[in-house]
Amino acid sequence: MIRSWLGALCLAGLVGMAMAAPTRESFDPARSAASFGVKLRLSGDVPGTFRRIEGELEPEADGRWRVLVRVDARDLDLDGPGWMLRSTRSKSFLDVERHPEISFTSEPFARELLMGGGPLKGQLDLRGLSRTVTFTLAPSACKRPGHGCDIRVLGVVSRRRFGMTSQRMWLRDEVAFDFKVRLRKPAAP
């Protein structure tokens, strides 16, 4: 009697675990990075980084996932001349004082996209403007993307589409983004 009761209790626990809804997975800011490249017309790329990236993978009711990413534009570092850093932070470029947050919210996607890679479409909010963009999710280098290896997302956006039309003589229109994301370890039950 006790043995069958314990067996039923264990079976119920296993069924409950199998049916448990997926939970949100937060980025690990200490192991994640966001970088970008501004292209100079004459002398190549000037790389930059945001000191902190935050975000999460959120499960949708239909079994797909959505990614939300936030960076603080005031925390950017630029590996270039001082005038470029001032220009990048200025009202005519990122306008970091009025619009300190840059965010991306993806459209829902199948979790398998993290393994195989492919297009990741969503809304990029930059300088108070929201535009649909498509980034590229790189194929995973491991079986547990975000835990055993980086989730890598690459993309190029047009400065003009976000109202950044200054410095056209010196800067090209394209700004390249490169996100490397690690997820926090799940909390123990």
The answer to whether residue 55 is domain-embedded is yes
112 part of a folded domain: yes
Amino acid, res. 112: E
Distances (CA, A) of 94 to 44, 65, 151, 166, 182: 20, 29, 26, 11, 26
> Which residues are paired to 78 by β-bridges?
48
Domain for residue 130, yes or no? yes
Q: For the chain, which residues score pLDDT lower than 70?
A: 1-21, 41-43, 166-171, 186-189
In whole angstroms, what is the distance from residue 21 CA to residue 176 CA? 36
Tell me, what's the pLDDT at 85? Answer: 75
143 DSSP assignment = S
Whether residue 142 is contained in a domain is answered as yes
pLDDT at 5: 42
In a domain, residue 143? The reply is yes
pLDDT for the residue 19: 47
What does the pLDDT read at residue 166?
66
pTM for this one? 0.80
pLDDT of residue 182: 97
Written as one letter, the residue type at 111 is R
Split into its structural domains, the chain has a count of 1
The pLDDT value given to residue 106 = 97
Host domain of residue 38? 22-181
Coil, strand, or helix at residue 151? strand
Residue 21: predicted pLDDT: 65
Hey, CA dihedral for 29, 184, 180, 54, is it positive or negative?
Answer: negative
CATH number of the domain bearing residue 77:
2.40.128.110
Q: How many CB atoms lie within 10 A of CB 156?
A: 16
User: What is residue 42's predicted lDDT score, i.e. its pLDDT?
Assistant: 65
